[in-house]
Amino acid sequence: MTAPILLTGFQPFGDHAVNPTALLMERLAGEPGIVTAVLPVEYDACGAAFAALLEEHQPAAALCFGLAAGSEYIKIERLAWNRDESEQADNAGVVRTDDAIEPDGPTAYGSTLPVPTLVRELAIAGLPVTFSDHAGGFVCNHLFYRARHLIETADLDIPMGFVHLPPLPEQVADQPGRSGLTLDQQERALRVLVGLLRQGLGIAA
């Protein structure tokens, strides 16, 4: 049996009553060759949940998604930084303004996905996309770093990366000059990315 591709999103958090990444996981749940999960927006719990998913499913690749509330673009993240540095509390009420994620870990890990290819193909599909070298200092970056650290230290051959998605149109309706990205468009982006991962891994759709 072919190993699945693991996709994760996050629960709602802070002032965001809806997290489009959680809705996308619901849309793709149960599809052949895909495992989806919605992770808690908590520093410690998200990494533990990802580790449990790796152990249970032994995926061929992993792609994690988070909400970038201030962005109008799909952002393919290139680097995960070894730092929690946000004034915002996670869903457990924890605030970390200057903490190493792994005290003995490297300063950063790079995505092991073909970022230029992902950006190019999403652009060809007519979607607003860019790359980013900073996934923020909140739980998204924390998960990205913890996941890459776990894969590296366990010597696992699992391509892994992180993608930030913009808010939905209804989430920015009261913000002049912003349009957001519909859930259908975001789902199309996910399917393009999954298709590219399957192609790179030699997995039939």
Alpha carbons 205 and 199: distance in angstroms, whole number: 8
Q: Which CA distances in Å does 114 have to 4, 63, 95, 170? A: 19, 12, 33, 32
Instruction: Tell the residue number behind the tokens 């032994």, with chain if given.
Output: 58
List active site positions: 77, 140, 164
For residue range 21-67, list pLDDT tens digits in order.
999 999 999 999 999 999 999 999 999 999 999 999 999 999 999 99
Report mean pLDDT in 10-residue bins for the chain, 205 residues.
93 95 97 97 98 97 97 98 97 97 97 96 98 97 98 96 98 93 98 95 78
